[in-house]
Chains A and B, each alone.
Chain A
Amino acid sequence: MSKINFLKPDKSNLYTFLYLGTFLFFISVLDVLLNSFFSLNITGFLPEFLSFLLPLILGFIGLYFIRIELSGIKQLDLLNKHINTNNFNAILSLLIIFIILKSIPPILSWFFVDASFAGDSKDVCSGSGACWTYIKVWMRRFMYGMYPNGEQWRINLSFIALALLGSVGYFATNKFKKYLTLYYVVIYPFIAFLFIFFFISGGPIFFDFSYGIIAAILSIIVGFFIPSKFKFYYFLVVPFALYILLKYFLFFEEYIELGKLDGLNWVETGAWGGLSLTFIISFFCLIFCFPIGMAFALGRRSGFPLIRYISIGFIEFWRGVPLITVLFMSAVMFPMFLPADFFIDKLVRCIIAISLFEAAYVAEVIRGGLQALPRGQYEAAKSLGMGYWRMHIFVILPQALKLVIPGIANTFLALVKDTPLIFVVGLLEIVGMLNLAKTNPEWLGFAMEGYVFAAIIFWIICYAMSKYSYNLEQKYKTDR
């Protein structure tokens, strides 16, 4: 056994240092642990200042002793490599361990131990913990807004149906896989429109809007079978003709008063709210902003200067202003730009505004992907005799979109996180409902619980989305 120099731990006295260091380290952790979980201060006999710093000093000395390179013990080497590389790191590691130990008991007691879950009135919430009863009582309002209680099954049914229809892709056999794109791009949004604008609304308010959608989607479906020679003129004329046909000749108001036909009551959009509204808005904006953004991304890279400048102007305008002013515009300024007898519903105005806003961001993301493609791809496609649209649909866009999956996912995440802003036009999704519930005289003083609840929900949604986009990115990653 060689001489021990305590200022220089070395391998020759490995076990002495190991035992001593581990002992000191555990003493320091134990001190903090007892202090935070059982409010016991085992170093209480010391002056307050020293008693406060003691765990840090002891832990530091302990970590210093066990910092022996190439000790030959696997666990010790791993530990040193990960949390104990030098003095500075050792102190930071200790501080983080102590902060975690210190913060667990108050958080646990607020969330679970002292919290009240039972009952359905404010009286049960007298403890120092969270009042989850408040969330329980207001749950329907947070989920469905002011939507009538008796009609909420319509929202549930629609969402369940849409979720089931959306998961078709996972169960499709190889035989049907090739139709999936068509299904998700055209048919699924169509069904979603029907569900939300007829089933959840149940009223006449959206008919005008939905004629446009029906016309557009029908004409796109038929458009697949039109020879490419006439495609341009077809899309120039048919959608508008179809729209007018639907609006003035086919669906008379008497026919389509679904409310009367199906026994569904009309629920005006002002009553929609809560988390379901968050989903509805996110869903529609997501559907709309993608094609608009793609169009402007292509426009910005177009060879025609006028189209390019218009696209640049559009993109830079929307990217330069905050969403809240855009919503202000849709609320107070936009009605001035429409004929006096022409009324567009608040929710629809909101969806249009958010879609245009996010479309500008999507456009910039897609442009990044288009720019990242090597010129050879364009040239190869052209040399095969492909025209502009064929080249983009079959060669350029599939590759470019693959490249920008993370960027698009980020934009969609931003969209979901932006939905609470619709409070500007008076629509109350979950955050808005929280603020409303907070001011209810019977339930004053539970703001914290509400915000924590909403934060957890949003966090789960956003985190799941970002993880999903990461998976997609990995799945479609191709070596180039």
Chain B
Amino acid sequence: MNFKLKDIGPQLMTVIAVVLVFGFFTYNAQVNMENRGIDFGYGFLSQESSFDVQFSLIEYDGSHSYFRAYLVGLLNTILVSVIGIFFATILGVVVGIARLSPNYLINKFAAFYVEFFRNIPLLLQIFFWYFAALRALPLPQDAEAIFGVTFLTIKGLYVPAFIWQNFNIFFYSIVAAIIAIIIIRIQAKRLQETQGKQTPVLFISIGLILILPLLSFLIGGVRLSFEIPVLKQLATTSFIYEGGVSLPPELIALALSLSLYTATFIAECVRAGIQGVGKGQKEAAASIGLTPNQVLKLVVMPQALRIIIPPTTNQYLNLTKNSSLAAAIAYPDLVLVFAGTALMQTGKAIEIVSITMFTYLSLSISISILMNWYNKKIAIQEK
């Protein structure tokens, strides 16, 4: 009896404490909402939102519902995260490898980059790019064309729009190329394992992904034309570019600072991963006659990736969460559109903050579940 009490006692007390705290909060929330005449519910999501968002990927204006506004914010968050992750990965891998370079200058340059950008708050960097650096860009009428078609101005980046004909055929050709590459890779691996033959997978893959879309142009009737942005005068001193795709300066500043900041962390992950592969592994691989490329591909990279991928995914998650700083420079992301404007309009603090948090939470938890699964899969089976 005594033994059991020792087991149950602390647990019971913790649970009671948690229940008490939550009960206290819920009770107060009920009383407060009754006093203020607010009712709890998610019905407002289908109501007309009647506010505008300046940048959205899907069609949206004030006559759409709050749920649609939520979607606009979510898509904008995803957009800036994907752009940021793309550039942060490239930059991070390059800098991470550069930090291991035997070249003293490159090594120190990369180290300087990492130490510099890592130790400055992200919010400060966003402000710097948005309020100081991008404000120094020329006005639309003074902007010089980059490659003749792209304009980088104080009002944003204007790039030509792609106008496709028969886009679906082009898309299918790319999908076909990717499927073919996967099949070839599997075949090549089998060949390698059973007969020890090496297939030049990389060249075949590059060839496939170039040739199949090219064929779609030649045979499938896919046509691509560009719509180049053209300067248009609105008033005597007000100019704007029409046509093409415009990226607002908020998006540019945010994506730029997110990638520069996160790349430093990814670089450290990459460096740690490559350094984590024992020297003996490389020497052993070289001693059985593998070429330096083969050593990298067959021995170092598979082991390094095992160390690199989990923390890098963590950094991707951090980047996605950090993209919520968009609210500071009025980039219409989830936090600004939904937890900002929509909350102001409806006053439904509990519902909206909980939806926003739940969105981020489900994103991170699903990714961390995926990561745990991956970690278990690739873990080295030790005896």
Contact = CB atoms under 8 A, between A and B. Distances in A.
User: Are A and B a genuine interacting pair, yes or no?
Assistant: yes
Interface of A: 81-83, 85, 89, 92-93, 96-97, 304-307, 310, 316-317, 319-325, 328-329, 332-333, 336-340, 413, 416-421, 423-424, 431, 434-435, 438, 447-448, 451-452, 454-455, 458-459, 462-463, 466
B296 interface: no
A235 to B, nearest CB: 12
B327 interface: yes
Nearest to B22: A337
A420 B120 CA distance: 11
Contacts of B136: 448
B324 A325 contact: yes
Contacts of B204: none
A454 B364 CA distance: 32
B119 A451 contact: no
B123 A431 contact: yes
A115 to B, nearest CB: 16
Nearest to A96: B105
12 contacts: A320-B361, A320-B364, A321-B361, A322-B360, A324-B325, A325-B339, A336-B349, A337-B24, A337-B28, A417-B119, A417-B122, A458-B119
A172 B11 CA distance: 43
B120 A458 contact: yes
B328 A423 contact: yes
B321 A451 contact: no
Contact of A451 (B7, B122, B124, B361): B124
Given A304-B10, A320-B364, A328-B335, A82 B124 contact: no
Contact of A339 (B15, B28, B103, B349): B28
Nearest to A461: B119
B325 A462 contact: no
Contacts of A463: 115, 119
Interface in B8-50: 10-11, 14-15, 18, 24-26, 28-29, 31-33, 35
B128 interface: yes
A89 B335 contact: no
A332 B103 CA distance: 53
Contacts of A324: 324-325, 327, 335
B210 interface: no
Given A320-B365, A321-B360, A459-B116, A420 B124 contact: yes
Contacts of A458: 119-121, 124
A196 B337 CA distance: 37
Contacts of A418: 121
Given A337-B29, A451-B132, A97 B127 contact: no
A447 B124 contact: no
A89 B343 CA distance: 55
Contacts, number: 157
Nearest to A324: B324
B132 A462 contact: no
A307 B14 CA distance: 7
A104 B121 CA distance: 25
Contacts of B128: 448, 451-452, 455
Contacts of B373: none
Contacts of B18: 310
Contact of B7 (A97, A304, A338, A424): A304
Contact of B127 (A310, A323, A435): A435
A92 B343 contact: no
Contacts of A81: 102
Interface of A is mostly: helix
A334 to B, nearest CB: 9
B162 interface: no
A319 B357 CA distance: 11
Contact of A447 (B119, B135, B327): B135
B359 to A, nearest CB: 9
A228 to B, nearest CB: 15
Contacts of A97: 105
A82 B360 contact: no
Contacts of B103: 82-83, 85, 89, 92-93
B121 A336 contact: no
A323 B339 CA distance: 13
Interface in B121-157: 121-125, 127-128, 131-133, 135-136
A175 B178 CA distance: 72
B131 A332 contact: no
B301 interface: no
Nearest to B322: A322
A435 to B, nearest CB: 7
B77 to A, nearest CB: 10
Contacts of A307: 10-11, 14
Given A322-B324, A333-B350, A333-B353, A82 B339 contact: no
Nearest to A317: B361
Contact of A82 (B11, B102, B356): B102
Contacts of B102: 81-82, 85, 89
B353 A304 contact: no
Contacts of A82: 102-105
A319 B25 contact: no
Contacts of B29: 336-337
Contact of B123 (A306, A338, A420, A452): A420
Shortest beta-carbon contacts, A-B, top 9 = A462-B119, A320-B364, A82-B104, A322-B321, A337-B25, A320-B361, A448-B132, A417-B121, A322-B324
Contacts of B120: 417, 455, 458-459, 462
B27 to A, nearest CB: 9
A340 B339 CA distance: 23
Nearest to B328: A423
Contacts of A416: 121
B106 interface: yes
B171 interface: no
Given A310-B14, A320-B360, A462-B119, A83 B105 contact: yes
A420 B121 contact: yes
B363 to A, nearest CB: 8
Interface in B278-322: 321-322
B164 interface: no
B318 to A, nearest CB: 9
B150 to A, nearest CB: 22
Contacts of A93: 103, 105-106
A209 to B, nearest CB: 18
B109 interface: yes
A76 B99 CA distance: 23
Contacts of A305: 11
A82 B107 CA distance: 10
Contact of B121 (A306, A320, A338, A431): A431
Interface in B76-110: 101-106, 109
A417 B106 CA distance: 28
Contacts of A333: 349-350, 353-354
Nearest to B314: A319
Interface in B344-359: 349-350, 353-354, 356-357
B15 A306 contact: yes
A58 B201 CA distance: 39
A339 B30 CA distance: 10
Contacts of A338: 25, 28
A83 B120 CA distance: 30
Nearest to B324: A322
A75 B74 CA distance: 58
Nearest to A89: B103
